Structure 1
Amino acid sequence: MKIVSATPADLERLLSFRMEAASWIGKLGSDQWSRPYPADRLLATIEAGTVFMLRDGEETAGTITLTAEAEEGLWSEVELGEPSMFINKLTVAREHAGQNLGGRLLDWAGDRAYRASAKWLRLDAWTANTRLQRYYLDQDFEHVRTVLEGGAVNGGPRVSGWLAQRPARPAEHGFTDETPNPEPLPV
């Protein structure tokens, strides 16, 4: 399997990935990703070069977004002063579930963050999805805190404020990485 940068041609597949994941997560009792994601926002992240696709031949097996920008209002000024990369929208196609592809994508992201001189690989997860939180803890992430206030709408409750991190580190993820080398983060 190989990792490549997403292109605008991947937009429809990424949107369908999200709908597929939302359906699966909904069957598990979570409302995570129940609102459609704006296609224009997703296209902007693709064009920014922060969305990556895991390909199994011609088939897309998974995706991950990795960016140097944190979502506003989650991390403290001190934390934001530490070189970090942030994971978003990690998704594995249901037909590829059970192969640890998500864990290997996290290792790839940690390796890429390390090569960009990041100290931390960070994420925020759905505050009510304890199953997802356990998954990240099992992937060696450490829970930092849960931010419940300051959501995007009128400063109301935040739905994705469970914060976790692990050190950025080299990793043997086993994928062929066909992405450009990451730009070094400002230190």
Structure 2
Amino acid sequence: MTDLHIRPARLDELATVESLLIEVSEWLASRGIDQWQFPPHRDRITTALRRGEVFLAEVDGRPVATLQVDDHADPEFWTPEDEPGDALYVHRMAVTRKFSGAGIGGTLLDWASARAVEEGKAWLRLDAWKNNPGLHQYYQDQGFRMIRLIDLPHRGSGALFQRPSSLFRE
């Protein structure tokens, strides 16, 4: 895979993060998938940028992917029985289509797992769109196990996945 550099995104790079998310949402729509068919949550992304939770992956100095990694367990998804404090959570991972299939998503997930290990977290978790079986299979291929499917009428997401944080390839 191409040499990838992952770094925290700066607040002045909000437009770059949004453009990566919009590109992927448009690609999903072209495939008939309704995931992310809304404007990016600018307020949430801005807050995460300020907290240092948004990252850009670059190839030759050009942003090719983004993701957010934090310790926020969505209370509509992760229950006290899940021990939500034992995990880091991945949100809004997007890879530009030009680099689709280059292994960047897997590298980002492994990088996030390494962060979880460094922070003493047992799990790397994420939630995915309920009706995107291709995405579910992708995460399973990356070593994640589906924990459960939650069907909330006001949310499209609800497929919950986790893998042990120590499961990453250095």
TM range (shorter): over 0.9
Normalising by structure 1, we get a TM-score of 0.85
Q: Does 1:161 align with 2:164?
A: no
**Identity of matched residues, %:** 32
- Name the SS of the counterpart of 1:161 in structure 2: strand
Aligned equivalent of 2:59, options 48, 56, 61: 56
Alignment length (residue pairs): 167
Tell me, in whole angstroms, the C-alpha distance in 1 between the residues paired with 2:33 and 2:106.
21
Aligned equivalent of 1:121, options 124, 149, 159: 124
Q: Which moved more, 1:9-18 or 1:75-84?
A: 75-84
1:1-187 correspondence to structure 2 within 5 Å:
1-149=4-152, 156-169=153-166, 171-173=168-170
| C-alpha contact 1:82 1:119 (8 A) present in aligned 2 | no
Residues 154-185 of structure 1, C-alpha deviations (whole Å, 9 max, x = no match) = xx342111001000016445xxxxxxxxxxxx
| C-alpha contact 2:129 2:156 (8 A) present in aligned 1 | yes
2:120 maps to a residue whose letter is: S
Q: Displaced runs of 4+ in structure 1, greater than 3 A? A: 170-173
| C-alpha contact 1:114 1:170 (8 A) present in aligned 2 | no
| C-alpha contact 2:73 2:84 (8 A) present in aligned 1 | no
What is the Cα deviation at residue 64 of structure 1? 1.1
- Name the SS of the counterpart of 2:156 in structure 1: coil
Tell me, in whole angstroms, the C-alpha distance in 1 between the residues paired with 2:44 and 2:68.
13
Tell me, in whole angstroms, the C-alpha distance in 1 between the residues paired with 2:37 and 2:124.
26
What is the Cα deviation at residue 71 of structure 1? 1.5
Runs of 5+ unmatched residues, structure 2: none
Higher relative contact order (CA 8 A, sep 6+): 1
1:112–1:22: structure 2 CA closer, same or farther, 3 Å change rule? same
What is the Cα deviation at residue 38 of structure 1? 2.8
Residues 21-42 of structure 1, C-alpha deviations (whole Å, 9 max, x = no match) = 0111112211001000132221
Residues 86-132 of structure 1, C-alpha deviations (whole Å, 9 max, x = no match) = 00011111111111100110011111111110000000000011111
Tell me, in whole angstroms, the C-alpha distance in 1 between the residues paired with 2:81 and 2:102.
37
Counting helix residues as a fraction of each chain, which structure ranks higher? 2
